[in-house]
């Protein structure tokens, strides 16, 4: 375990992007999204439903003339559907396409203390392990750092 986490820390150190993360909550879990990958944080809004789309895709929204694919993180992570459709959108860009993650609430921007980063424990469900490779110990919370590109690739392959 110690070895793994050292490797991860080194990996993170090379990756200058992961210096600050925005904490968000989905269900009862805190997730961190790299600040530099975030394009926009949007208020709750109407999402256009896409028939026949995978259930993890909530639909589409229009962000200043660009179409954003909205990803329902609750569904992906296996939580019950949100009781109120008042989730915030965290918009990220990947491969020239915009994606938005639906999150229940948005927290703070925190600096990543590399010493506090470890690999995700192997006993997490596969969907969880896809979304995140690293866990940050932040005070009393464990923050899962979201790996945007892996998640989107997984969705595209579904």
Partner 1 sequence: MDDLLQEFIAEATENLAVIDQELVRLEQHPNDTEILGNIFRLVHTVKGTCGFLGLSRLEKVAHSGENVLGKFRDGELEVTPDAVTVILECIDRIREILGALEESGNEPAGDDSALITSLDQLIEPAAPAPAKAAEAPKAENKEAPTNNGMAVNEFGAPIAAEMLAELEAAGVDLDADESDEPEHANDAEPDRAEPDVSDEPSPSSLPESSSVDDAGFPPADGNASGEDKGSGQKAIEPAAQKRESAVAASSLRINVDVLENLMTLVSELVLARNQLLQMVRGYDDHEFAVPLQLLSHITTDLQEGVMQTRMQPIGNAWSKLPRIVRDLSVASGKKIDLVMDGAETELDRQILDLIKDPLTHMVRNSADHGLEDPGQRLAAGKPETGKIRLNAFHEGGHIIIEISDDGRGLNTDRIRAKIVEKEILSEAAAAALSDQQVQQYIFHPGFSTAEKITNVSGRGVGMDVVRTNIEQINGSIDLRSVKGEGTTVTIKIPLTLAIISALLVKSASERFAIPQFSVIELVRTAPNSEHQIEYINKNAVLHLRNQLLPLIRLDNLLGIAETGDETRSEDAFVVVTKTGNSTFGIVVDQVFDTEEIVVKPTSPVLRGIRQFSGNTILGDGSVIMILDPNGIAAEVGEIQAKLNSKADGSRGTNVDDKKVPLLLFKGDSNEPMAVPLVLVARLEDIANKDVEHSGGFDLVQYRGTLMPLVTMSGNGLPQDRESHPVLVFSDRGRQFGLVVNEVVDIVEDKIDIEMPSSRDGTLGSAVINGHATNVLDSEYYIHKALGDAHVNGSKALNANITGRPKTLLVDDSSFFRSLISPLLSVEGWDVTSVSSVKDALALRDAGEQYELIISDLDMPELDGFDFASSVRNDERWKGTPLIALSAQNGSQNIERAHTVGFTDYVAKNDREGLLHSIRSIMSNQAA
Give contact residues for partner 1 (rule: CB under 8 A).
Answer: 48-54, 57, 59-62, 65, 67, 69, 71, 95, 97, 99, 152, 155-156, 158
147-158 CB burial, b ≥16 within 10 A, e <16: bbeebbebbeee
Q: Which of 96, 108, 97 is nearest to 71 (CA)?
A: 97
What's the min distance (Å) between Cβ of 127 and partner 1? 15
Instruction: Determine the Cα–Cα distance for residues 21 and 7; give it in Å rounded to an integer.
Output: 20
CB closer to partner 1, 124 vs 152: 152
* CA–CA separation, 18 and 110 (whole Å): 11
Q: Which is nearer to partner 1, 63 or 110 (CB)?
A: 63
Shortest Cβ distance from residue 131 to partner 1 (Å)? Answer: 14
CB 60 to partner 1: min, Å: 4
Nearer to partner 1, 47 or 117 (CB): 47
Q: Give min distance, CB of 61 to partner 1, in A.
A: 6
Contact yes or no for 69/98 (Cβ under 8 A): yes
């Amino acid at each position: 375990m110690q070895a793994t986490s050292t490797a991860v820390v080194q990996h993170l150190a090379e990756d200058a992007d992961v210096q600050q993360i925005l904490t968000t909550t989905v269900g009862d879990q805190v997730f961190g999204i790299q600040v530099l990958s975030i394009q926009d944080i949007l208020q709750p809004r109407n999402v256009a439903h896409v028939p026949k789309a995978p259930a993890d895709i909530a639909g589409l929204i229009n962000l200043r003339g660009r179409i954003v694919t909205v990803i329902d993180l609750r569904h992906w992570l296996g939580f019950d559907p949100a009781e109120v459709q008042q989730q915030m959108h965290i918009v990220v860009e990947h491969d020239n396409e915009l994606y938005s993650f639906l999150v229940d609430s948005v927290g703070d921007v925190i600096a990543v203390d590399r010493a506090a980063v470890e690999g995700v424990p192997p006993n997490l469900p596969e969907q969880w392990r896809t979304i995140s490779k690293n866990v940050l110990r932040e005070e009393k919370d464990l923050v899962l750092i979201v790996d945007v590109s892996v998640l989107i690739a997984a969705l595209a392959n579904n």
